[in-house]
Amino acid sequence: MLEAPSGQTRKGRLFVLGGPSGVGKGTLRVQALADIDGLNYSISCTTRKPRAGERHDVDYHFITHEDFEDKAARGLFLEYATVHKDRYGTLREDVVRELDAGRDVLLEIDVQGAWQVRKLLPESVLIFIAPPSLEALEERLRLRGTESEDKIKLRLENAKKEMEQSSGYDHVIVNDVLDRASKELRKLILSERSPSP
């Protein structure tokens, strides 16, 4: 835990990682968590079924649609959204507990969720991960081989809209070379998390 200048325990910083599908957010997140001591990842709630190898309360909090709607109605989410008919959300209590204990938290969420977080926690640090170009992003999506042509087109349309909103983020990192982007993200987080002099 970092100490504030007065000797008091500092409050943690919230880092929000966003960007289009296929840009490499997940890879950069995993690398950041491995490289930066004391950086914690907040586990999201989802209504989708677990995939092979995923564990409840480790990869996600797997909950029912009814439970999700109840939590949303009670204002328990810091942010939430619907993605491919399933619901995803970050529990406010999970994040605030870590921040109040002086621990830094990393979220990987969409643009819609980022604006919700900024409204509730304006001191959060929003980091947009951008592709070097839409053509490069299309190539990455095609190389994954996991989406149909229609889904690729939809993801590219969404990417255009998301990239138009990147100016609202505090920082933009172009993920052209993974190692360079990873080092830039690490440097940025370490710089932003340091207590003020």
Is 96 a member of any domain?
no
Is 142 a member of any domain?
yes
Is 119 a member of any domain?
yes
Domain at 107, CATH number: 3.40.50.300
- CA angle, corner 59, sides to 85 and 92, nearest 5? 75
Calpha distance 2→4 (Å, rounded)? 7
Rounded percentage of the chain residues whose pLDDT exceeds 90:
56
Is 162 a member of any domain?
yes
Which residues touch 140 (CB under 8 Å, ≥6 apart)? 22, 23, 24, 131
**Taking 70 as the threshold, does the pLDDT of residue 8 lie above it?**
no
Which residues span the domain enclosing 116? 14-42+102-193
Which residues touch 42 (CB under 8 Å, ≥6 apart)? 90, 91, 94, 95, 98, 105, 106, 107
Q: How confident is the model at residue 117 (pLDDT cuts 50, 70, 90)?
A: very high
Is 176 a member of any domain?
yes
State how many domains the chain has: 1
Q: What is the mean pLDDT of the chain?
A: 88
Calpha distance 183→194 (Å, rounded)? 17
For 14-46, give one letter per residue: b (16+ CB within 10 A) or e. Answer: bbbbbbbbbbbbeebbebbeeebeebbebebbb
pLDDT digits (tens, 9 = 90+) for 45-80: 999 888 778 889 888 899 999 999 999 999 999 999
Nearest C-alpha neighbor of 21 from the set 178, 163, 126: 163
Is 1 a member of any domain?
no
Is 126 a member of any domain?
yes
Is 32 a member of any domain?
yes
Look up tokens 């095609």; give the residue. 142
More confident position, 106 or 111? 106
| Chain centroid, CA 5 distance in Å | 29
Cα distances (angstroms) measured from residue 137 to each of 8, 60, 140, 173:
45, 27, 5, 14
pLDDT digits (tens, 9 = 90+) for 130-176: 999 888 888 888 887 667 888 788 888 888 888 999 999 999 999 99
